[in-house]
Structure 1
Amino acid sequence: MSVVTLFENVSNELVIEILEYFNGYEICKSFSNLNSHFQQLINSSFVLFKFYSNDFIADNQLLLNHKHQLISLQYDESFSSYSIDSSFNHLEYLIINNISSIKLLSNLSSLPRLHSLTINTQYKFDDLTQLYQLVFTLSKLKYFKCISEIRTFCYLSSIINDKQLSNIEYLYCAHTCTINELSTIIPYLPKLRSLSFCNSNDDDDDNNNVIKKIQSNITHLYIHEDPITLNNLKLLINENLEVLSLDFAYEDIEYFDAYL
């Protein structure tokens, strides 16, 4: 004899586990009008949502009604009629697309749980210096990825105090970045473990002193775009390095046969 179990009779704990696999917009639209039980459940603090950029077009107000339950958000200024503030108190993962002003970043310091941030500047900023400075003030941040579709530059001050040091452990510079630029960024990141960057050879001369500023506790190193000079590559490899990935085209096969 088969036993039929209604979804309404499934425990709240199991329902919450199932909802983790769905987009927040889908959850609200699918479950909010079923009955009062599910309405109360999706409004409770036990259910945390993930919202993506296309959800803004569908229903901006719906997202605002549940902003205190958001754990992950893909934010697009082109579609958003609100700013991110301390009311997003469960937000841990944030992706910002089409950012038009770095003023938006000033509010992120009010997010108590934010530990992963991705910013896509697209074609709007060629100078990333101030953006990096603001991001490094976010004390809870562990992961930062910056994306740009144009050639950029970023030179931070060499004068650093303890309050300016960041807790970031994973940095992905998905934009053009020279060795000299990296040497101004890395000193702000004493806990950095994983570094990925799109190398630019604009000023990539062999420079031992510059490379020494980059060496730290990095265990994972990923280099893309322009080939880095062999001497600089040797200098970047330290005793803590566990993973090295080189993703670029190079005509001289001896480069890859070289003894590091």
Structure 2
Amino acid sequence: MPKNARLVAFPDRPEQVLYPGAHIATGDQGAGSYYHHGIVLETEGEMLIAHFWGPGEQETAQIQTTTLTCFLADGPDFIVNNMDNTKRKLTSIESSEENSKKSRNQLVNSLENLSNDLFYEIYDYLEGLDICVAFSNLNARFQQLITCSTNRYKIILNYSTTQKLFWNYSKEIKHQIYSISFQSPKTSINEFFPIDYSYNNLQSIFIEDIKKNQLILLLNYLRDLACLYLLNIKSGDSFEDLNEIYQLIFSLPKLKSNKLSLYGDEHTISIPISNNQQLSPITYLQIAHSYTFDELSALLSYTPSLRHLNLSHSSKYDSDIEDISPMNLNELIHLSIFSSDLDFDEFQFFIELIHSNLQILHVSFLKRDIRFLHAHRWQKLLLENFSQLEKFSLCYREPGYGDNYPIYDGELNQFVSPFWIQRNLIFDIEIWEYRIYYFVRPFKKRWYEYSIEHSKLAQLTIKYVYCNELPDILLNQIKRVLNFTQIYHLNIEQKISTENLMQIIHLLPDLISLKIIALFYYESILQFGDHEFPTTSALEHASNIKYVCLEMTFTMDDISFLMSFCPHMEYLNVECIENMNIQSFLREILNKINRNHHKYLHELCIYIITADEQMIKQLKQMIDDEKLLLNYTIYRQLYNIYLKWK
């Protein structure tokens, strides 16, 4: 999402968040992609949008006037770009109070009235060919805007882009292109080249699905580019020997960042150790393909300026790990490693060969080796080799599920010693289907606002389990987790039945906080007596929970269950579903608190997308008129309403 943009829901009163000249877009925030861009033209009556359509297969990019409702139809998320972090008005509209009424009658009704500066900012978020196709044939003004020397364009060549389209417009803007991305174009990449020295501002190239011979040809062209700083390559083709590829990459005179991700068969890299005659200026290197450690050592001899190294070591057999020489990487400060085949001893041997001043270390392992969770070994390794380390994270994934897991015989809660506390590092666990992920990572602020003792921050997150299966597998996974650490915080990221929730909490006697997406299969607590799990223990454990969050609240039954299940709850955080009457909802909660004398609960946070100051006034008036609370405060932060009482 653009840095000045904010994600909003479709409001009942769009004029509250939209204004003439606002840049808006729809798309999928989670995927980081946006489908449509537009500029607000009119906010009175039926809101009008200047909608920018990119070129499709018929190359019919255009600008079309549409309504806000139609504009929002294709994207689940809706963003408003605030430009200068203020409600930017069109330059053709006067802002003085004396002329406010006059300005309101002079709202723009066409693109001609929009300022050049506004278009320059909009261009930053649009693809270059889309801009050319949509604006170049309008009039001379827009033609000049497109070819303005200060504008920089990113070009995306995908399955719908033809060679004709690219060459028709790239000739006009080639000096302004700073980025080209090849995303599975429907014609060969060679048809778009040669890209020669005339692309004198081209700084970055991204390539997907390229053949080896095409890549070699491309790399030969790229040597003529004076400003090429970044090159990312992904391919599933069979490359066999990568010697020529890396020799060409290292010959690029200005290259600072290189990523090479290959998903085909295993490769060899017969590149010799550098003789210091051909050294690369690369400072960021990501290697995501198979290699041996001596091949890696040879590659790194070409990059003495390397500061950031990202390694994905595949399952290629390595018999030479003990024979490689130390690697002097004096400039290296950031190292990330993913490995599916290194055990802890092999990893330790390898990393101790790297002589550097590491400040950041991120490691992730898939091999079944329980020694990755021995905190004292990590502490010794880091203190002896990287005493200046500022940031560290560890991810250890236990693959699959079965009875042949190695038995952990270490101490409980190893990652809460002063060494880890001083570095603000915590131990977290995530369960995804049959896999268990163990994390050591920096603590980040969570949904509850209360300070928790560092030794009691361990959280279990259940990200996904198969809904139609018996809970035995999940419960056994939780039991295994409890061999390593006590669990103080539970986060369930899928809808769960009250029955299964109680089965889980039965295993977790130390819970302080509980966060769940949604509840279903409501039954009274007494009805659980016939099931094969001890309800009494679950209730006893739930009585220790102080902080509760329910992300999707459908009925008051949800709240009633949680208040009964967690009687010592002090803080409740809920999200109202769309069209829920907030006054009735809050009234029911407060009445229940008063009737049942919940003496512990003293703070409520309600997330509601329509929250505003008028709503706060109405809720305060209701509380006072009906004497629901006496000594309380109520306020709003964005879409969160906070209610505190004594």
CA RMSD of superposed structures (Å): 2.4
> Contact between 2:304 and 2:330, CA under 8 Å: does it hold in 1?
yes
CA contact (8 A) 1:215 1:236 kept: no
Once the two structures are superposed, what CA deviation does each residue of 1:167-226 show, in whole Å capped at 9, x if it has no partner? 00000111112211110011110110111122145225442743x126442211111233
Q: Is the 8 A contact 2:153 2:177 kept in 1?
A: yes
Q: Give the C-alpha shift of residue 84 in structure 1.
A: 1.6
Counterpart Cα distance in 2 of 1:89 and 1:248: 42
Query: Could you tell me how far 1:67 is from its partner in structure 2?
Result: 2.4
Structure with greater Cα Rg: 2
Residues 1-260 of structure 1: pairs in structure 2 closer than 5 A: 1=101, 2=104, 3-5=106-108, 7-54=111-158, 56-57=161-162, 59-65=165-171, 66-75=173-182, 78-81=188-191, 82-97=193-208, 98-101=210-213, 102-150=216-264, 151-162=266-277, 164-200=278-314, 201-207=316-322, 209-210=324-325, 212-213=326-327, 215-228=329-342, 229-236=346-353, 238=355, 240-257=357-374, 258-259=377-378, 260=381
Q: What is the aligned partner in structure 1 of residue 522 from structure 2? A: none
Give CA-to-partner distance per residue, 1:16-51, whole Å, 9 cap, x none: 222011111221122112221011110222222111
Q: CA deviation at 1:88?
A: 1.4
SS at 2:149's partner residue? Answer: coil
- The alpha-carbon deviation at position 90 of structure 1 amounts to 1.1
Report % sequence identity. Answer: 34
- Which one-letter code corresponds to 2:281 in the other structure? N
Q: Give the AA of the match of 2:119.
A: V
How far apart are the structure 2 equivalents of 1:179 and 1:35?
60
Moved more, 149-158 or 79-88: 79-88
- 1:133-178 per-residue CA deviation (whole Å, 9 max, x = no partner) reads 111111110000112112112132124133x111000001111122
Question: Deviation at 1:80?
Answer: 4.9
Report the Cα offset of residue 85 of structure 1.
1.2
Alpha carbons 2:127, 2:154 under 8 Å: kept: yes
The CA distance in 2 between the partners of 1:170 and 1:130, in whole Å, is 20
Q: CA offsets per residue over residues 42-89 of structure 1, 9 Å max, x none?
A: 022222211112163382333432322211001357255232211211
CA distance, structure 2, for counterparts of residue 109 and residue 239 of structure 1: 30
Q: Tell me if structure 2 keeps the 8 A contact 1:206–1:231.
A: no
Q: Is the 8 A contact 2:243 2:269 kept in 1?
A: yes
Residues 214 and 226 of structure 1: CA distance in aligned 2, closer, same or farther (over 3 Å):
farther
State the TM-score, normalized to the length of structure 1: 0.88
Structure 1 residue matching 2:223: 3-state secondary structure: helix
CA distance in 2, matches of 1:126, 1:35: 53
2:212–2:237 Cα contact (<8 Å) kept: no
- CA distance in structure 2 between the aligned counterparts of 1:221 and 1:86, rounded to whole angstroms: 34
- Structure 1 counterpart of 2:162, one-letter code: I
8 A contact 1:230–1:255 mirrored in 2: no
- Comparing 137-146 and 121-130, the one that deviates more: 121-130
What whole-Å deviation, never above 9, does each CA across 1:105-131 have from its counterpart, x for those lacking one? Answer: 111111111100112242131211111
| Shift in CA distance, 90/104, structure 1 to aligned 2, threshold 3 Å | same
- Deviation (angstroms), 1:248: 2.8
Structure with the larger RCO, 1 or 2 (CA within 8 Å, 6+ apart):
1
The answer to whether the 8 Å contact 2:328/2:356 transfers is no
In the alignment, structure 2 segments of 5+ residues that lack a partner are 1-100, 382-646
Decide which structure has greater strand share: 2
Give the drift of 1:94: 0.6
CA 256–62 in structure 1, closer or farther in 2 if over 3 Å, else same: farther
* Structure 1 counterpart SS, 2:349: helix
Change (3 A) 1:63 1:175: farther
Q: Is the 8 A contact 1:186 1:214 kept in 2?
A: no
2 CA distance for matches of 1:236 and 1:4?
Answer: 67
Residue type of the partner of 2:272?
S
Q: Size of the alignment, in residue pairs? A: 258
For structure 1, list consecutive stretches of 5 or more residues without a partner in the other structure: none
Q: Does the 8 Å CA contact 1:88/1:111 hold for their aligned counterparts?
A: yes
In 1: Cα distance, 2:144 partner to 2:250 partner:
39
Runs of 4+ in 1 over 4 A off after TM superposition: 236-239
Q: Partners in 1 of 2:139 and 2:350 — Cα distance?
A: 61
